[in-house]
Amino acid sequence: MNINRTPALAVTATRAGISPSSVRFTPRRVLPSQAGNRVLRAMASFAMQDWLVGLYLTVLLACVVLGDGPRRPTAIGCMVVDSAVFWTCLLVARSRDREERSFAHDVLYRVTLLGAVVGSFFQLQYILPTVSDVAYDAQIYRLDVLVFGFEPAESWDRWVTPRTTEWFSFFYYSYFFILCLYVIPMSIFEARVRIMGEMTAGLLFVVCVGHCVYLLVPGYGPYSADHFHHPLTGPFWWPTVESAVSSVDGAARKDIFPSLHTACPTFLTLFSFRNRAHRPYRYVWPVTAFFTSQIILATMFLRWHYLLDVIAGVKGRIVPLEEMLSGGLALTEYTRQRTFLGVPARDGRVIYPPAVIDEPEPRRVRARRRRPRVVRLTSSASSYVARNLIRALDVRIRPSRGALLLAVSEV
């Protein structure tokens, strides 16, 4: 089957950097619900993001089992519970065919994916000290000074005041609100499969890879140094940030490289900009971009991250690699949904649920055509302006509801 015959798939392929003419898929019939084992059928329907999160939890579990330290039993227990809950909920959510799944199954599936990653984030204070007892703060600091000539947290110490601290503390804390405003509504209400798959694959890829890199390059951050002359103080937002970090035992969390405070908002900004033809992204992407810029500065001003951490979050093969893969993963999963999750009709054809799978082609994603520029003139002004335009330009005049429409060809 040619993908060009399906506008939504062709648009997705184009956005993923894949030529639509090179993509082919052949619909295959889905086995009836009564045939085969439910567990095997559920595993056969696992999407790539399911295997990504499962592999991520397996890597963390293997690392804490091979690690050492006083927090090792707690870390192993947390990862065993996380893995058991994840695979159980995933099998339950995927055990039914598409036409048999209810709204509760869809919500359970989406919450399971996000809950597994968020739960492991709140357990990093047990996982990271167990995996490694070293910190590379000195090496990262020397590399910052060697490559960039300065360390932002150290250079910006002269501008630390209660007012500037409050400004950046507000934006640093808003990171959690931005994630919630994007993730929670999409987890429950989003029905556009391509958009949901693109965001899910991209965001999960960023977070899972970032957490795994924490295991390789642990560090505490610039705040652990004692060469700052101006303390960070503020009446409300800075104490709020400090209490939030302390609530997850921030002194034991060596999660600075790469900066996910940089990578996640940057991804959401690029995701919103790429889908600005759809609502609500056409309205929220400028706001997200502004908040992202302030969050990136706040991570260094508040002495949580080195400049190298921020560069790793933006340029260090996390967001760029996601930008390259998320569209392709979304396209592949989108195609798999159509081929394997269709409902077999009586005559053997595969009927896809259009309300769930198909979506209209965005209005802005179309081939650009040169169209004449239209100048609308009121009847009162047309008598004078039109004569001068006709004399100066080669125009075509046609009446339209009491006004003149002057079609001026673009150069």
List, for residues 301-356, the tens digit of each pLDDT value.
999 999 998 988 886 544 544 554 545 555 555 555 555 544 343 333 333 333 33
76: its two tokens = 């192993």
The widest CA-to-CA distance across the chain, in whole angstroms, is 88
Of 108, 126, 117, the residue nearest 205 (C-alpha): 117
177-188: average pLDDT: 85
- 98 pLDDT tier (thresholds 50, 70, 90): low
List, for residues 278-304, the tens digit of each pLDDT value.
888 989 999 999 999 999 999 999 999
- 386 pLDDT tier (thresholds 50, 70, 90): low
Of 271, 281, 137, 288, the residue nearest 206 (C-alpha): 271
Q: What percent of the chain has pLDDT over 70?
A: 65
86-108: average pLDDT: 79
- 83 pLDDT tier (thresholds 50, 70, 90): very high
Half-sphere exposure of 96 (CA within 13 A, CB side): 14
Q: Where are the domains of the chain?
A: 31-133, 134-360, 373-408
Residue type, 223: Y
Distance CA 313, CA 268 (A): 13
Q: What percent of the chain has pLDDT over 90?
A: 32
Of 30, 42, 11, 7, the residue nearest 352 (C-alpha): 30
pTM > 0.85: no
List, for residues 139-153, the tens digit of each pLDDT value.
999 999 998 888 999
**Could you tell me if 88 and 82 are in contact, meaning their C-beta atoms sit under 8 angstroms apart?**
no
pLDDT at 375 over 90: no
13-42: average pLDDT: 53
Of 14-23, 139-148, 171-180, 185-194, the poorest mean pLDDT is in: 14-23
List, for residues 198-253, the tens digit of each pLDDT value.
888 888 888 999 999 999 999 888 887 777 888 999 999 999 998 888 887 766 77
**Could you tell me if 30 and 340 are in contact, meaning their C-beta atoms sit under 8 angstroms apart?**
yes
